[in-house]
Amino acid sequence: MHLKFSPNRLYNLFNSLTYDQFVTKVLHKVFPKNNSVIKSQKLLKFDRTPFRLASVGMIFHPRQNSPHIIIEHRSSDVPRHPNEMALPGGAYDPSVDSNLFDTFARECQEEIDVPKKLLEAHSHLRFETTTTQFMVLPIVCSSKRKNLRLKPDLYEIAKISSVPIADLVLTAKVNQSVPLFPDCNEFDLPVSHGWSFKLVKGSNQRQHLIWGLTANIIAQFCSQVDKHFFH
């Protein structure tokens, strides 16, 4: 699946919408809610492949009445993907999870202290695979609460960023860098193909690279929105 979208026109679209308009005009239209699909047991059939199952969430919530997305800065202590930018979520556990939405909701509570009852799940995107042999189901969610409190589990998550989706989309680059080293924060290290985004934080405008799985999920979301509104 080749992902195509225009960062500039998506920026203009997202930047023109309040959070409530973003939910009703974008999320509800492009990703209509379907609990039977999100919680389908059929998705678990992939658990019998060489890949392990996992799920993550694109969680949209309001800040200053505009749509923001939650991005985690993973800590240096975790065994998988240390120091990377990520979406909330984790590995499927058949002993406690009935479906992959349960996986995402459990991990979301553990990682950033956001309970399932505060999230509205709209739909899921297609599976993405990782170099660590996971098949990851991305779930598109919005917050039911205007003031969402985020509290990181500091073993797994060093800090949490809430980023305007319009600003993030504007930084999109294709066929850009995937760094060889997990602690690399440079944006222009050409190593392999894929999407990448910049997350700019702090008074010194430090740039963090969003690449790999997380970038491809955001690009997949952008591609579907672009196709719905502009094709």
- Going by the DSSP 8-state scheme, the letter that residue 229 receives in this structure is H
The tens digit of pLDDT for each residue in 14-61 reads 999 999 999 999 999 999 988 888 888 888 988 878 889 999 999 999
Contacts for 5 with CB less than 8 Å, ≥ 6 apart = 172, 219, 222, 223, 225, 226, 227
Domains of the chain are 7-230 (3.90.79.10)
How do residues 101-130 score in pLDDT, each as one tens digit? 999 999 999 999 999 999 999 999 999 988
| Tokens representing residue 212 in the block | 């790999």
Within a 10 A sphere around the Cβ of 96, how many other Cβ atoms?
A: 9
Backbone torsions φ then ψ of 60, nearest 5 degrees? -100, 135
Q: What is the pTM of this model?
A: 0.88
**171-212 confidence digits (pLDDT tens):** 998 864 444 444 444 444 334 457 889 887 644 445 688 988
pLDDT at 89: 95
Long-range contacts (CB closer than 8 Å, 24 or more residues apart) made by 114-121: 114/59, 114/88, 114/148, 114/149, 114/150, 117/144, 118/143, 118/144, 118/145, 118/148, 119/57, 119/59, 119/143, 119/144, 120/33, 120/144, 121/33, 121/35, 121/38, 121/57
